[in-house]
Amino acid sequence: METTQAVLTAESLRYRYGETVALDGVDLRVDPGECVALLGPNGAGKSTLVMLAVGLLAPQQGTVRILGGDPRRAKTRRHLGVAQQTLGFPSTLTVSELVGGAAVRGGLRAAAAGPVLAELGLTELARRRASKLSGGQKQRVQLAMALVTDPALLVLDEPTVGLDTQARRHFWQILAQRRAQGTAVLVTTHLIEESGTVADRVVVLDRGRILADAPPQELVSRLPDRTVTVRTALDPDGLERLPGVLRVGRERDLVTIQTRSPEQLLRLLLEQDPELSELRVQDVGLAEAVVALTDHREPSENPREGRAA
């Protein structure tokens, strides 16, 4: 059977900075049109993986390929669009000059900027200088610069930091249109819940290794953990000591209990407070699922440890 060519493939990728192991054998594949979110705590190796993928670092062991080519080569890098949060641009240039410049560097004519500016709603700002742009507008300009060459893979490092909800929705809408045309997206973010709503797959990286690579909903459902919400007169401190209880919180006048063993908890709750009402049981969020995977406490104090293996 003919399989589509992967946009990105990483095999047994290893990278260390001196004594520090940043990537410890990473395998990853991203297909056309796919959106893969790279999650994990600080220092997990996300940025290192991204830098290897875009050719800013060379693998010390293993391989990384973009459409079968080496991202260290300029010819291969043309397939990449990169928007990095920390990247600033020359403040004296206008929006149109910035995006036009990116087009020219990608081997296109500066006029290629026109349609992308329209796509991102930047046409009216075309003649504005970068120094006069708001944070959200700058982010859109960066995206325009990354998209102007019609890349096969868009690599985004924390793209929605500092955006309000509406700007964020707009941002993902634009990406959805591009993805429908086959553009793949690799995105790092600390906004785990957000990534769960936009990514086809979530890759959880920790200490240089991939702990999970699955659709977000699957990661959540792998966890037995549930959030139980209830109106009860029971004392929260007492609830915290019940077996399997991970966390007790308040939501207005309701109590929320995160638990590893929901059935057991429900039995105990109903037994101890026959008056309880407004009972609700929900999945925990993706954020909790990821934290459960990357929780580093010792097994003795952390009964979840086995799950991370």
Ligand X SMILES: Nc1ncnc2c1ncn2[C@@H]1O[C@H](COP(=O)(O)OP(=O)(O)O)[C@@H](O)[C@H]1O
Q: Is 294 in the site for Mg ion (CB under 5 A)?
A: no
The 207-236 site mask, x for binding ligand X (CB under 6 A), equals ------------------------------
160 HSE (CA, 13 A, CB side) = 23
CA pair distance 153, 82, nearest whole angstrom: 8
CA pair distance 212, 223, nearest whole angstrom: 12
**Partner that binds at residue 40, options ligand X, Mg ion, none, CB closer than 5 to 8 Å by kind:** ligand X
Rg (CA), the chain: 23
- Tell me the closest approach of the beta carbon of residue 45 to Mg ion, in angstroms: 8
Instruction: Give the binding-site size for Mg ion (rule: CB under 5 A).
Output: 2
The 7-46 site mask, x for binding ligand X (CB under 6 A), equals ----------x--x-x-----------------x-xxxxx
CA pair distance 213, 198, nearest whole angstrom: 15
- Tell me the closest approach of the beta carbon of residue 145 to ligand X, in angstroms: 22
Sign (positive or negative) of CA dihedral 47, 49, 50, 55: positive
> Contact, 85 vs 188, CB < 8 A?
no
- Tell me the closest approach of the beta carbon of residue 46 to Mg ion, in angstroms: 5
Chain center to CA of 143? 16
Phi, psi (degrees; rounded to nearest 5) at 268:
-65, -45
- Identified binder of Mg ion from the candidate list 7, 36, 38, 47, rule CB under 5 A: 47
- Tell me the closest approach of the beta carbon of residue 190 to ligand X, in angstroms: 9
Of 43-51, 56-64, 117-125, 148-156, the window that binds Mg ion (rule: CB under 5 A) is 43-51
> How big, in percent rounded to 5, are the helix, strand and coil portions of the chain?
35, 30, 35
Of 39-47, 105-113, 177-185, 211-219, the window that binds Mg ion (rule: CB under 5 A) is 39-47
3-class secondary structure, 102? helix
- CB nearer to Mg ion: give 46 or 140: 46
- CB nearer to ligand X: give 22 or 257: 22
CA pair distance 65, 80, nearest whole angstrom: 11
**Partner that binds at residue 71, options ligand X, Mg ion, none, CB closer than 5 to 8 Å by kind:** none
Name residues contacting Mg ion, limited to 227-286 (CB under 5 A). none
- Tell me the closest approach of the beta carbon of residue 37 to ligand X, in angstroms: 13
CA pair distance 28, 14, nearest whole angstrom: 12
Residue type for position 137: Q
Residues that bind ligand X (CB under 6 A): 17, 20, 22, 40, 42-48
Residues that bind Mg ion (CB under 5 A): 46-47
